[in-house]
Structure 1
Amino acid sequence: MAVPFSFGQSRKISLQDLSEFKNPGKNWQIADDIYVDLDKSNKFRIEEGKGILVNEPKGRNNQDLYTEQEYGSIDLEFDYMMAPGSNSGIYLMGRYEVQLKDSWGSKNLTSAENGGVYERWDEKRPEGQKGYQGYAPRQNVSKAPGLWQNLKISFQAPQFDEKGNKTENAKLLKVELNGITIHENVELFGPTRGAVSMDEAPNGPLRIQGDHGAVAFRNFEVTSYDKPRPELSNLQVQVYGGRFNEVPTGLDSLPPEFEGKAVLLTSDLNTKSNQFLIRYTGDLEVKESGMYAFNLDTPGGTGLVRINNNAVVPFNARSGRGTVELSKGVVPIELLYSKYEDWVEPGLGMTVEGPGIREYLVTEGGGNYETVVNPILVEVNENTILRSFMDIPVSEESGGYRVTHSVNVGSPEQLHYTYDMNKGSLVQVWRGDFLDATPMWYSRGDGSSRPLGAVKHFGIPTLTLAKLNSPNQKWIKDTIGTQYRPLGYHLDDQNRPVFMYNTYGAEVTDAVQVLENGHGFQRTIQVQNPGPNLYARIARGSKIESVSKDLFIVDDKEYYLRLDNPDGTKPVLRTVEGQQELLMPLQEKLIYSILY
């Protein structure tokens, strides 16, 4: 069994106290838990303890927070929570700001919204043009205030020569907000507005804005990439004509059709035939001892990498990966590329990653020769319905689950959901763009589509309604004995579906509508002839907390559930098999909202 290892130098920032930070101001503290009142701006309700970093500005003299440690190129991941109406930001190296803001439901995407790369600023420019080179996020996938959000940033620091001259701008290689890519390969030509310095440097602290609004953080993890890359030297190349689909032996005794010195690894050598073998030999100067990974891509054939005369990437078809422990120093390296499929264009791609070294390309080729498919994306400018299969994740052990009777409903407010007509169940909701229908329609297709935004799954679909002899009876897992019969749906006056089904002899309509300002969904279930002991299960999770009258927060502060029933029916909160469930006794109508 392979032992997992990390190539970057990873560390967690401890939030047991404030010792990781320079001279923290009084607006910063460590807490155990926090909550918000959605009706109160810029406020937290804080529970004392450890593990969460909280900024709550108070009066004047609120200070930004700086880490003691300085960083260059890093991967940074953390969770954060915004208070209602709050505004903050995190500065990489103290100079390049990624905006943190309560952008719940906002349609006006600018560089100042949540996840945006803030503008640079020049007072000498004309009015209206002083701010420039800001980058808005690709889509708004921001959650409600009081919910934990996740941000991942892959950052490449600016590069400098030995004289201190900048040779390469800083870059945001990738930024993911709540699991969705919102930036990719964004070049940062200089510090953004409010930077600690307009001068750029190889390293700098992480800086968190502390004078704008209430914000909280947890689970900081920093992976540094600050070690020198291995370098190739003394490269020689030989090209042999013919088909080599097995590990070649005795190459030194075979006459090559071409040989000579090489300055880079490439497959573009003007070979005489479509079947050939390219052999590179040379030295690899390892500047940092540790574990290294080599990833080889050889379209139309196979390849091999030997280091110190030992096979690191074996002679496998198409592509391969291998790891090896290397000591600091110079070691011999050999790379083979055997192309034996006539109809495939040649190409050679190899990447290397190592201790404190982000994966980088060492060949001229791009290292990715998959067929490029233009995606088939479904946009929504009006209420839209698309029927498809929908695959949802369940667990690493059991894999996914395919919903075969799913109806995907999109809205111009950028809030969408999937409904399972086979169970009368709300499967998932998501915020952002609508659907990628490429797997459904490209080539022969498999009938499925995929959400394009930040998704909240509600688990394997089960019936929403069930009859229980007591509030402690386990929820039913299938339709046996329920007389469940789907009746399709009709459209209301705004082209939104109203689902219909029969169960337990009752007639049910089920309508899900987007709330005002794009803050979530309201679901209305109406029943004719409900009968006794009928319940609706409206939430299930590891933890369900009551945070105010008729308002609950589910799981690890993933979404809110608000009871909107006018008759004041009281819910049943219970624990079954280690999970908490929120049930509502159902008479004729149930109304509740999901705030997400």
Structure 2
Amino acid sequence: MVHRSKNSKPGRSWIGFLYACGAGLALSQPVAAQSAQWPLQDLSAFRQPGSSWQLASDVHARLGKPNALEITKGAGILVNLPGKKQHGQDLFSTQEFGDIDLELDYMMAEGSNSGIYFQGRYELQLLDSWGITSPRPGDNGGIYERWDDNKPEGQKGYQGYAPRQNASKAPGLWQHLKVSFQAPRFDASGNKTENARIIRAELNGVLIHENVELQGPTRGSIGGGDEKAAGPLRIQGDHGAVAFRNISVREFKTPKPELSGLQYKVFNGQFNKQRLDTAKPVATGVSKTLTANAGPLSREYILHYTGKLHVQEAGDYSLALATQGGGGMIRIHGKDITGSGRNRQKITLPAGETPIEIVYARTGDWGSPSLGLSISGPGLRDVYIGDAITPDDTDPILVNADQNTILRSFIDVPGQQQKVVHAVSVGSPANVHYTYDMDRGMLVQVWRGNFLETTPMWHERGNGTARPQGAVQRFGTPFFTLGRLASEQDAWSADTTGSGYRPKGYVLDDKDRPTFKYQIHGSTVTDAIRVTEDGHGIYRELNVTGPAADLYAKLAEGEQIESLGKDLYLVDGKAWYLQLQEGSAKPILRDAAGKKELIVPVKGKLTYSILF
């Protein structure tokens, strides 16, 4: 924070902003350029779409029914339905793109195959890879191989990149993809000076690629293997049924901003003990770059820059200061931006040059001093100007699950100021894991991919928290699985008052898999959760001794819950499946506090599966 004296004016005096203001470097995620979401009310965004492409208002895939999607007529969802009599064709955008951020949802039919080609040349694979434990370049989210028919068999495919982990969901569930693509660069003579890149790709919230250089087009590219500064977005349509929605493309065409005319003054001592307008500098100079290391001092100094920031286009920009080994402040266009990294602020800038002041305050001799400016804006991907970023020297503490593995920790509840404080996370070599809340007998979350990061738990003093590494499906605000209801419309209890709830720990089977035990409403409960044999989800069996006549289990809550028949449900906008096993009581789908809940009477034994 900056504390300004009552009589101070911009450009004259800054006094006492945090003595230890730069605890570490923390650049925030890039702020995107203006987004263009495709409304999908018609097919006008595409050139000459083939007959297999159409629009729908809703779409479903059926488990056990390969390469098939069922649609509801309407608009808003783009669907490809190739068949034996209607061979699908690739779909090309009318507009051509260079650097873009692409964000969309997609749904695969069972066994289906598709892909997204950036500029029509570089393919990110879309595939039903449900349950694959060791993904390859041809699996969902992989960067497809380049191809050379002249090479020996087994070597024709090369330079493909598998996703870091398999974050894929089941057929019929919506999957979310975010990709930052950088086009190849060319000089004035048309010679390529820089390869294309996948800067970052996330699948279902999991980082699967980062800074991957694409040395040439992948197999099946347009143009006979040539490369261009711009090209169409292309969706593969000849391999299987697939659906898309919420397609958003953000273009980045604006040249990078520049800092110029940088002059600096260096002051000795702590920032909060002097006024820069009256203090005498120990050194002055000019610098071609923004750096924390100008001047002769190495500890407890203040570095004050003045200069100009040049942006080509007028508009709203987002700026943040990145510092390490100290703190900093920006003053531009009448606005102060303090702190580091996460304190990103928006400011309206005119086209051309704007005066800027930047202060860096070195505190003590801890940390490597560094200073940089992060800026994004209209048509501009996030740009960093300054010292090379020194990475955090803390290696992440990762826990793998090469065998059935149990770890107790805290688990954060996203969007709420609370934690599950008696959480037991159970990992499996099938790369399907879950967290159980022993305070409520609740299944908190399941996820697919890698197991846990425990850096917050064990680094230095720690805070006890572990974090799932894979694609997580959470089950809402923590609630008790079992409860008594006087009627089917009674609100679900949020606490243990009158329930007699008593956790009794867990026992391990011969494969080190836990079965949880507790008492509630006078009954003894065993709760066994197992990964399904095919790795498609988990199987849960609750056994209740002496259940009360009005005892229910709450199985799911969400904005939407759809019945697909045969005791199969789609939960929370096609996020996951719940399947009750034969012999279970008839479930009740009800409204509750603006959401849907699925509850079921408990007569003694309850079994169901969660597929995701």
TM-score (norm 1): 0.92
Q: Is 2:40 aligned against 1:40?
A: no
Partner of 1:116: 142
Contact 1:76 1:154 in 2 (8 A): yes
3-state SS of 1:556 partner: coil
What is the CA–CA distance in structure 1 between the aligned matches of 2:437 and 2:514, rounded to whole Å?
A: 13
Partner SS state of residue 390, structure 1: strand
Q: 1:248 is aligned with what amino acid?
A: L
Q: Which amino acid aligns with 1:378?
A: V
Which of residues 211, 219, 224 is equivalent to 1:193?
219
Q: 1:321 to 1:58 in 2, by over 3 A?
A: closer
Q: Which amino acid is the alignment partner of residue 319 of structure 2? A: F
Q: Distance in 1 between matches of 2:561 and 2:462?
A: 40
Checking the alignment, whether the CA contact within 8 Å between 1:294 and 1:313 is kept in structure 2 is no
1:594 deviation in Å?
0.6
8 Å Cα contact 1:300/1:342 also seen in 2: yes
Aligned amino acid, residue 44 of structure 1: L
**Structure 2 match to 1:298:** 323
What's 1:592 paired with?
608
Relative to structure 2, which stretch is displaced further, 422-431 or 111-120? Answer: 422-431
Change (3 A) 1:223 1:510: same
Residue 233 of structure 1, CA deviation: 3.6
1:440 matches 2:457: yes
Q: 1:242 to 1:490 in 2, by over 3 A?
A: closer
CA distance in 1, matches of 2:239, 2:91: 12
- SS of the residue corresponding to residue 440 of structure 1 reads helix
Per-residue Cα deviation, 1:260-314 (whole angstroms, up to 9, x for no partner)? x43322233461453434344444433222222332233344434444xx45445
- Tell me the secondary structure at the aligned position of residue 418 of structure 2: strand
Distance in structure 2 (CA, Å) of the matches to 1:534 and 1:459: 21
Query: What is the DSSP-based 3-state SS (H/G/I as helix, E as strand, rest coil) of the residue aligned with 1:153?
Result: strand
Q: Distance in 2 between matches of 1:315 and 1:391?
A: 29
Give 2:350's match in structure 1, choosing from 317, 324, 327: 327
1:18 aligned partner: 43
Q: Secondary structure at the match of 2:457?
A: helix
Q: Deviations over 1:195-224 (max 9, x none)?
A: 112211111111100000100000011111
Distance in 1, Cα, partners of 2:36 & 2:352: 27
- Tell me which residue corresponds to 2:232: 205
Instruction: Name stretches of at least 5 consecutive residues in structure 1 with no aligned partner.
Output: none
Residue among 257, 265, 286 paired with 2:311: 286
Return the offset for 1:468.
2.3
- 2:524 matched residue in structure 1: 507
* Cα pair distance change 1:91/1:507, threshold 3 Å: same
Q: What are the within-5 Å matches in structure 2 for residues 108-507 of structure 1?
A: 108-197=134-223, 198-245=225-272, 246=274, 248-249=276-277, 254=280, 256-259=282-285, 261-269=286-294, 271-307=296-332, 310-314=333-337, 321-366=344-389, 371-393=392-414, 395=415, 399-507=416-524
Q: State the AA in 2 paired with 1:532.
A: A
Deviation at 1:236, TM superposition (A): 4.1
Shift of 1:573: 2.0
Deviation at 1:235?
A: 4.0
Inter-partner Cα distance in structure 2 for 1:233 and 1:581: 59
Alignment of 1:520-535 (within 5 A): 520-535=537-552
- Seen in structure 2, the aligned counterparts of structure 1 residues 275 and 6 have a Cα distance that, compared at 3 Å, is closer
1:206 partner amino acid: L
Gap change, CA 1:303 and 1:401, over 3 Å in 2: closer
Distance verdict in 2 for CA 1:344–1:412, change over 3 Å: closer
Q: Alpha-carbon deviations, 1:486-517, whole Å to 9, x = none? A: 21111112111111122222221110111121
The answer to whether the 8 A contact 1:247-1:315 is kept is: no
Offset at 1:318? 9.4
Distance 1:574 1:272, change over 3 A: closer
Tell whether the 8 Å contact from 1:9 to 1:225 is kept in structure 2 after alignment: no
Q: 1:527 to 1:127 in 2, by over 3 A?
A: same
**Offset at residue 412 of structure 1 (A):** 0.6
* Pair 1:322–1:430, CA change in 2 (3 A): closer
| Structure 2: distance between partners of 1:6 and 1:420 | 36
Find the aligned partners of 1:460 and 1:497 in 2 and give their Cα distance. Answer: 23
1:56 and 2:84 are equivalent in the alignment: no
Q: Does 1:575 align with 2:591?
A: yes
In 2, the alpha carbon distance for the partners of 1:422 and 1:330 equals: 59
CA RMSD of aligned residues (A): 2.3
Query: In the alignment, what sits opposite 1:563?
Result: 580
Task: Look up the equivalent residue of 1:486 and give its one-letter code.
Answer: P
Cα offset for 1:132? 0.9
Question: Sequence identity of aligned pairs in percent?
Answer: 52
1:14 and 1:20 in contact (8 A); partners too: no
d(CA) in 2 for partners of 1:574, 1:284: 58
Counterpart AA for 2:36: R
Letter in 2 for 1:176: E
SS at match of 1:229: coil
* Alpha-carbon separation, structure 1, partners of 2:31 and 2:402: 44
Instruction: Kindly state the Cα deviation for residue 24 of structure 1 after the two structures are TM-superposed.
Output: 0.4
1:78 alignment partner in structure 2: 104
The answer as to 2:119 corresponding to 1:102 is no
What is the Cα deviation at residue 570 of structure 1? 2.0
Structure 2 Cα separation of the partners of residues 204 and 40 of structure 1? 36
Aligned partner letter, 1:151: L
Residues 31, 318 of structure 2: 8 Å contact kept: no
Further displaced range: 58-67 or 142-151:
58-67
- C-alpha deviations, 1:428-479, integer Å up to 9, x for none? 1111111111111111112221111111111222221222233222222222
User: Residue 278 of structure 1 aligns to which amino acid in structure 2?
Assistant: L
How far does residue 242 in structure 1 lie from its aligned partner after superposition?
Answer: 4.8
- Residues 1:205 and 1:34: Cα distance change in structure 2 (over 3 Å): same
Question: Helix, strand or coil for the counterpart of 2:456?
Answer: helix
Q: Check the 8 A contact 1:111/1:137 in 2, yes or no.
A: yes
Deviation at 1:527, TM superposition (A): 1.8
Distance 1:162 1:322 in 2: 36
